Amino acid sequence: MRTGVLARKRTRALFAVVVLSVVFGAGALVAASFVRSPAQLAADARPPAAGPVTALVEQRVLSATVLLRGNVGPERLVRLTAPRAGDSGARPVVTRLPLAVGDSVSAGAVVAEIAGRPIIALPGASPAYRDLVPGAEGADVAQLQEALRALGFGTGKDRAGKYGSGTKAAVKQLYQGRGYQTRNTGTDDDRQLLQAERAVRDARQAVSTAAEPERAAAQQRLVDATADYDDLVARTGAVVPVGEVAFVPDLPARVQQVKAAVGADVTGDFLSLSSGALSVRATLNPQQAQQVRVGMQARLDSEVTAVSAAGRVTSIGPAAAPAEGEAAPSPTVEAFVHPDQPLPDTLVGQDVRVTVVAASTAGEVLVVPLAAVTARADGQAEVVVISEGRESRVVVMPGVSGGGFVEVRPVAAGLSKGDRVVVGR
Q: How many C-beta atoms lie closer than 10 Å to residue 38's C-beta?
A: 7
Q: Which residues pair with 309 in a beta bridge?
A: 300
Output the pLDDT for position 163: 96
Run of H or E residues at 12? helix 2-34
Q: Look at residue 314 in the predicted model and tell me its pLDDT.
A: 94
* Rounded-to-integer distance, Cα 385 and Cα 369, Å: 13
Supply the pLDDT for residue 30: 38
Q: What is d(CA 66, CA 54) in angstroms, rounded to the nearest whole number? A: 24
pLDDT given at position 312: 95
Across the strands, what pairs with 319?
A: none
CA dist., res. 280 & res. 163, Å (int) = 39
Tell me which residue of 386, 381, 376, 377 sits closest to 407, measured CA to CA: 381
Q: Residue 123 forms beta bridges with which residues?
A: 248
Please report the pLDDT score of residue 208 as a whole number: 87
Please state the length of the chain: 425
**pLDDT for 36:** 60
156 and 165 Cβ atoms separated by less than 8 Å: yes
Determine the pLDDT at residue 218. 86
pLDDT value of residue 140: 97
60-72 pLDDT per residue, tens: 988 767 889 999 9
Check whether the bond before 246 is cis (ω within 30° of 0): no
Other Cβ atoms closer than 10 A to 189: 17
How far is Cα 391 from Cα 218, in angstroms, rounded to an integer? Answer: 102
Quote the CA–CA distance of 206 and 286 in Å, as a whole number: 80
Write down the H helix ranges in 210-254: 212-235
Contacts of 401 (CB under 8 A, 6+ apart): 62, 65, 66, 67, 355, 370, 407
Please say whether the beta carbons of 114 and 88 come within 8 A: no
Segments in the chain below pLDDT 50? 1-2, 5-6, 14-34
Query: Alpha-carbon distance 26 to 10, whole Å?
Result: 25
Q: Containing H/E element for 401? A: strand 390-402
Q: CA-CA distances (angstroms) from residue 184 to 90, 168, 243?
A: 17, 10, 15
The 3-class SS string of 157-196 reads CCCCCECCHHHHHHHHHHHHCCCCCCEECCCCHHHHHHHH
> Which amino acid is it at 160?
A
- Assign 288 to helix, strand or coil: helix
Query: CATH homologous superfamily of domain 83-185+237-267?
Result: PGBD-like superfamily/PGBD (1.10.101.10)
| pLDDT value, residue 47 | 61
Nearest to 74, CA basis, from 233, 309, 248? 248
pLDDT of amino acid 146: 97
Largest CA distance in the chain: 193
Q: What are the domain boundaries of the chain?
A: 58-72+277-424, 83-185+237-267, 189-235
Cβ–Cβ < 8 Å for 296, 313: yes
Q: Are 412 and 380 in contact (CB under 8 A)?
A: no
Domain 58-72+277-424, CATH 2.30.30.90 — does that match? no
Spacing of C-alpha 11 from chain mean position: 101
pLDDT of residue 28: 44
**The pLDDT value given to residue 37:** 65
